[in-house]
Amino acid sequence: MVINVKLMSMFAKYLKNNPDGKVEVEENATVRSLAENLGMPVKLVRIITVNGKQEDLDKVLSDGDLVYIFPPAIGGG
């Protein structure tokens, strides 16, 4: 199945082999397995949304889902 993936900020580089954001995954893939397959540093993942709803790394994905993964930001000074 195919997942539509948006990786924000420093995570964007992990989509360099999928510039259209479409990533093929196995049935029953989770956000965690998706992130690991893309080579992402999973421990830095803080916010995940699937089809606009906040989820965690263990969310099981369905064909056509839209997944956003956000890194943390702290700066303000």
Partner 1 sequence: MVTAEEERLLEPYFAQCEPSEIAIERLDQICAQAGVSLRKVEWFAIRRNFIPHRYQRNLGIFFARGQLKLLESTAVMAGLGGLGGQLLEQLGRAGVGKIIAVEPDVFDETNLNRQLLSNESNLGTKKVGEAKKHLDRINRAVEFVGFQCRLEELPDDVWEKADLVFDCLDSIGDRLVLARKCSAANCTLVHGAVAGWYGEVGIVRPGSKMLEKHYQSQREGLEKELGTPVFTAAAAASLMAAKGCRILMDKCQSKQSTMHFFDLLADDWENIRL
Which residues make up the interface to partner 1 (CB under 8 A)? 6, 8-10, 12, 46-47, 49, 52-54, 68, 70-77
**Shorter beta-carbon distance to partner 1: residue 47 or 60:** 47
Helix (H, G, I), strand (E, B) or coil at 33: helix
Helix or strand (DSSP H, E) at 4: strand 2-7
The DSSP code for 21 is S
Shortest approach of partner 1 to residue 77 CB, angstroms? 3
Q: Give yes or no for a contact between 48 and 59, defined as CB atoms under 8 angstroms apart.
A: yes
**Shorter beta-carbon distance to partner 1: residue 6 or 32:** 6
In the chain, the amino acid numbered 58 is D
Shortest approach of partner 1 to residue 31 CB, angstroms? 14
